[in-house]
Chain A
Amino acid sequence: MYAVFGWIMFLCIASVLLFNLFYVYPLKWKDRKIILGVTSRKEFKEAGASEKIDEIVGRTHKQAVIITVICFAISLLLLLVRGMMMQMFFWMLFMFIAIFVDMVPYISGHSALMSLKKSLGIKGTDGVNLVDLKLSGKVHALKPISVIIPNLLGFVPVVMALLLDLKIIRLEDNRIAGSFITTIIIATFWSMGVLIGLFSIVMDNMKNEVISSDSDVNANYNRAKKKNAADLNVGFIWINVIYTVIMAGGFFFRYSELLMVGGLLVYMLLMFVDVFVFIHFSKKIEARYLKETEVVTDDDEYWIAGMFYYNPKDKRMNVDKRAGVGVTVNFAHPGGKIVGLIGIGGLLMALLSLVWIGLLQSTPISLRVEDSKVICHQLRDEYVIPFDDIASAEYGDDITSHTVIRVAGVGMDTLLKGNFSVDGTGGCTLFLNPQEKEFIKIITKSGKTYYIGGGSVSETFRAMGMIEHR
Chain B
Amino acid sequence: MIIRIDELSDVPIYQQIRNQIVMGISSGELEAGEQLPTVRALAMEMGINTMTVSKAYQLLKTEGYIMTDRKNGARIRSEIEKQGRISPGNRSELKRIVSEARLSGVPKDELVKLVNEYYGG
Contacts and interface: CB of A to CB of B under 8 A. Distances in A.
B44 A314 contact: no
Interface stretch (B1-9, B91-99, B102-110, B112-120): B1-9
Contacts of B42: 131, 133, 136-137
Contact of B38 (A137, A208, A215): A137
B44 A137 contact: yes
Given A208-B45, A215-B1, A315-B47, A129 B7 contact: yes
A135 B30 CA distance: 13
Contact of A128 (B5, B37, B45, B48): B5
A128 B47 contact: no
A132 B37 CA distance: 10
B111 interface: no
A54 interface: no
Nearest to A214: B2
A85 to B, nearest CB: 47
A213 B48 CA distance: 22
Contacts of A314: 47
A73 to B, nearest CB: 46
A127 B41 contact: no
Nearest to B3: A131
Contacts of A313: 7
Interface in B1-44: 1-9, 21, 24, 30, 36-38, 40-42, 44
Interface residues on B, range: 20 to 34
Given A128-B5, A131-B5, A138 B47 contact: no
B80 interface: no
Q: Interface residues of B: mostly helix, strand, loop or mixed? A: mixed
A78 B2 CA distance: 54
A256 to B, nearest CB: 49
Contacts of B45: 131, 135-137, 207-208
B56 to A, nearest CB: 12
Q: Interface residues of A: mostly helix, strand, loop or mixed? A: loop
B8 A138 contact: no
A432 interface: no
Interface in A189-210: 205, 207-208, 210
A134 interface: yes
A338 to B, nearest CB: 18
Contacts of B30: 133
Interface string B32-68: 0000111011101111100000000000000000000
Contacts of A126: 8
A127 B8 contact: yes
A136 B7 contact: no
Interface of B: 1-9, 21, 24, 30, 36-38, 40-42, 44-48
Given A131-B42, A207-B46, A208-B45, 10 more contacts: A127-B9, A129-B46, A131-B46, A133-B21, A133-B24, A136-B37, A136-B41, A137-B38, A207-B45, A314-B47
Interface of A: 126-138, 205, 207-208, 210, 213, 215, 295, 313-316
List the 8 shortest-distance A-B pairs measured between CB atoms, nearest first.
A137-B41, A315-B47, A136-B37, A127-B8, A127-B7, A136-B45, A129-B5, A316-B47
